[in-house]
């Protein structure tokens, strides 16, 4: 015959173990939630940086084009002044 503990002994052993498992699961869930929040924040930061980079490139290209246009106007103006 296999000896099995009585019901009270089983309950005395299972309840503390069950509590430990539940606390450990809560700790793991909390840790996973923290990582999820960090990942979401980093995705948003990356998206914001990409958006800012596009805006800065557009601003730079507009300023560059304006500078080129001014140089061309100065050259044409100088050439016209020499002609006439």
Number of H helices, E strands in the chain: 1, 0
Whole-angstrom distance, CA of residue 14 vs CA of residue 21: 10
pLDDT of residue 47: 98
pTM to 2 decimal places = 0.61
Whole-angstrom distance, CA of residue 73 vs CA of residue 79: 10
Whole-angstrom distance, CA of residue 14 vs CA of residue 38: 36
List pLDDT tens digits, range 2-48: 778 889 998 999 999 999 999 999 999 999 999 999 999 999 999 99
| pLDDT value at 1 more than 70 | no
pLDDT of residue 5: 87
């Amino acid at each position: 015959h296999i000896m099995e503990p009585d019901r009270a002994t089983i309950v005395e052993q299972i309840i503390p173990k069950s509590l430990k498992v539940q606390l450990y699961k809560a700790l793991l869930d909390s840790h996973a939630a923290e990582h999820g929040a960090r990942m979401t924040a980093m995705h948003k930061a990356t998206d914001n940086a990409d958006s800012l980079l596009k805006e800065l490139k557009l601003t730079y290209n507009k300023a560059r084009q304006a500078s080129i246009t001014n140089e061309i106007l100065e050259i044409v103006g100088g050439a016209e002044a020499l002609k006439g």
